[in-house]
Amino acid sequence: VDAKKFVLASIEDWLPGTTGMSWTQGSNQLIILRGGSRSVLYIGDSNMQQYYPRIEKILADHPLNSRGAVFAVRDGCAPFEADVLNSSGATSPECRALVREALEYARGPKVDTIVISACWRCYLLSFDDSLGRSGRVNIGADQAIGSLKRELEILARAGKRVYVVLGIPVSAELDPRSLIQRIIVPPGFRVVVSSPNRGELQNAAEPIRSRLIEVAQATGASVIDPMQSLCDERSE
């Protein structure tokens, strides 16, 4: 086994056909995989970009499917318009323009389902340590969540089905590169799989996680929690 395979997997791009060794930031316009009578619109940042290859494959494997998929995605772009302190340009002019275009497109007749995903904690929390185990709410987070709630309410009034995807579990132990440990004997490395504490992962996402769930429930949106499928319920 070549350790290079693990390194390449850790930097693999989300957009097929792109070249280079860096993550493609995204597009300033909508990416339409297939135009159908009905489409699902995916809005978000790199958290949403990671789903692109799978959705593209599903559509390719089912050519008779009449539904389409449209992506409004940009790395580091928060799916709300309110400014948040320490959010690293998450609501830049380019980002805001894309979000506005996406929401306008979402209200159109071709879109019946909208999925919104983001690294919510990246924009709404600041962390006290490099491992991101505990954080404090950023200034402007309340306004940002309020902005998201208004967006969801508009979509609900338009009769759209909406899904809010909570943040993916984040830990240094989940980085593919952390699986590699160098050793003296051939092949020169070994793969070591560790399981981060689920309780710590959940605590690191609070209090934003619970607020997102409340907003989704208040507006009739469904919640998808990646933690439920990626983490063992018994890991405490």
Query: Given this model, what pLDDT does residue 229 score?
Result: 67
Predicted TM-score of the model (pTM): 0.83
Query: Given this model, what pLDDT does residue 231 score?
Result: 65
Query: Given this model, what pLDDT does residue 39 score?
Result: 94
Query: Given this model, what pLDDT does residue 182 score?
Result: 77
What string of pLDDT tens digits covers the 236 residues of the chain? 566 776 676 677 888 766 555 677 777 789 998 767 899 999 999 999 989 999 999 999 988 888 899 999 998 899 988 777 666 667 788 888 999 999 999 999 999 999 999 999 888 887 766 555 667 788 888 999 999 999 999 999 999 999 999 988 776 666 666 677 777 877 777 777 777 677 777 777 778 889 999 999 999 999 999 877 666 665 54
Query: Given this model, what pLDDT does residue 10 score?
Result: 66
Helix axes 208-219, 141-157, angle to 10 degrees: 20
Query: Given this model, what pLDDT does residue 6 score?
Result: 66
- Dihedral sign for Cα atoms in the order 138, 45, 193, 22: negative
Query: Given this model, what pLDDT does residue 155 score?
Result: 95
Q: Encode burial over 92-113: b for 16+ CB neighbours within 10 A, e otherwise.
A: eeebbebbeebbebbeeeebbb
Q: Cβ neighbours of residue 152 under 8 Å, at least 6 residues apart?
A: 162, 164, 215, 216, 219, 220, 221
Query: Given this model, what pLDDT does residue 70 score?
Result: 95
